[in-house]
């Protein structure tokens, strides 16, 4: 058994709540669920759904028919303490929710065998580089960074190092999937890192993302009577004294001809670069 520890810092307000739905709380199941999600979307190498599910259960444990405990334990060693009320819709600012604020630290520990912990570590790094924790994570909230990974000079390379280089290719400012299409499930198709050295306030980026969501986002996730999670994940990361924006595009398993996806991304890229 080995253990890995990660000290993290909150970058944008984090809307994580406990059982009452109001009190900010950081819980292991929330983190483990997102680690599992980032493993799924970054592993598009299975053409057979049964093989994919079998590998997922081997690494993360099973549920329903094949109940199996995860071979890796996740323990929260330190939780954020500072809270405040922040609007999750910064472009409107019409209501506020209690959340963990920025300049908060938390730490976690992974405990398990080396083979399994490597999967968890890779996915946790992708979670920190491309996503976040809590509500509105696909729209820039809940972003955090692993403190010892703060050197952003090779930020895109750090993302690329967590991906399979046989099926992903990196250019100057983006990463694209180049492998064969697996069975129909969400996976990372494209990652972009947008920089603007003039932006030194994360609220500017959150407002831009909110405006883009208002203009185009709702069309992305509605399809008649069903509502889907957006295939576009936008996150805010720190770059020395400024901030950068990551845009992760998952393959569109529904409504793939909807032009709102491209309009949504194009708006964010344009506004972040020109701000």
pLDDT for 229 beyond 90 = no
> How far from chain centre, in Å, is Cα 207?
18
pLDDT for 236 beyond 90 = yes
pLDDT of the residue at 228: 66
- Average pLDDT over every residue of 226-244: 84
What DSSP string describes 34-99? HHHHHHHHT----S-HHHHHHHHHHHH-B-TTS-B--SSEEEEEE----EEEE-S-TTT----EEE
pLDDT of the residue at 153: 61
pLDDT of the residue at 201: 92
Return the CATH number at 247.
Answer: 3.30.70.1900
- Least confident range from 8-17, 54-63, 187-196: namely 54-63
pLDDT (tens digit per residue) in 26-81: 999 999 999 999 999 998 877 788 888 889 999 998 765 667 788 999 999 999 99
pLDDT of the residue at 185: 82
Residue ranges making up the domain that contains 220:
2-274
- Count of domains observed in the chain: 1
Q: Which of 80, 60, 81 is nearest to 71 (CA)?
A: 60
pLDDT for 226 beyond 60 = no
pLDDT for 265 beyond 70 = yes
What DSSP string describes 40-52? HHT----S-HHHH
pLDDT (tens digit per residue) in 200-225: 899 999 999 999 998 886 544 444 44
CA distances from 42 to 46, 177, 182, 189, 251 (A): 11, 10, 12, 9, 11
pLDDT of the residue at 207: 94
What DSSP string describes 112-135? E-HHHHHHHHHHHHHHHHH--SSB
pLDDT of the residue at 217: 63
Cα–Cα distance measured from residue 206 to residue 87, given in angstroms and rounded to the nearest whole number = 11
pLDDT of the residue at 127: 97
- Average pLDDT over every residue of 162-166: 94
pLDDT of the residue at 220: 43
Contacts 24+ apart (CB under 8 A), 168-171: none
pLDDT (tens digit per residue) in 72-127: 999 999 999 999 999 999 888 788 999 999 989 999 999 999 889 999 999 999 99
- Quickly state the pLDDT bin for 154 (edges 50, 70, 90): confident
Q: How many residues comprise the chain?
A: 275
Cα–Cα distance measured from residue 75 to residue 110, given in angstroms and rounded to the nearest whole number = 6
- Least confident range from 5-14, 59-68, 170-179, 222-231: namely 222-231
pLDDT of the residue at 144: 96
């Amino acid at each position: 058994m080995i253990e890995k520890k990660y000290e993290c810092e909150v970058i944008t307000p984090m809307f994580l709540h406990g059982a009452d739905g109001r009190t900010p709380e950081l819980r292991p199941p929330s983190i483990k669920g997102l680690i599992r999600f980032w493993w799924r979307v970054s592993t598009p190498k299975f053409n057979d759904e049964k093989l994919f599910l079998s590998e997922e259960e081997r690494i993360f444990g099973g549920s329903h028919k094949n109940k199996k405990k995860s071979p890796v334990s996740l323990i929260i060693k330190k939780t954020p303490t500072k809270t405040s009320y922040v609007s999750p819709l910064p472009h409107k600012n019409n209501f506020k929710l209690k959340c963990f604020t920025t300049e908060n630290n938390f730490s976690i520990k992974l405990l398990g065998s080396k083979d399994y912990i490597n999967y968890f570590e890779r996915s946790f790094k992708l979670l920190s580089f491309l996503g976040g924790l809590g509500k509105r994570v696909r729209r820039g909230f809940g972003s955090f960074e692993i403190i010892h990974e703060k050197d952003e000079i090779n930020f895109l390379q750090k993302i690329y190092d967590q991906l399979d280089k046989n099926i992903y290719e990196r250019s100057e400012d983006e990463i694209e999937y180049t492998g064969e299409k697996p069975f129909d499930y969400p996976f990372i198709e494209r990652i972009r890192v947008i920089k603007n050295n003039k932006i030194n306030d994360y609220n500017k980026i959150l407002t831009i993302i909110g405006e883009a969501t208002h203009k185009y986002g709702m069309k992305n996730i509605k399809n008649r009577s069903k509502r889907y999670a957006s295939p576009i994940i936008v996150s805010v990361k720190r770059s020395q004294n400024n901030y950068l924006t990551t845009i992760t595009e998952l393959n569109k398993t529904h409504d793939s001809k909807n032009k709102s996806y491209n309009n949504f991304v194009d708006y964010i890229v344009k506004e972040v670069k020109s701000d």
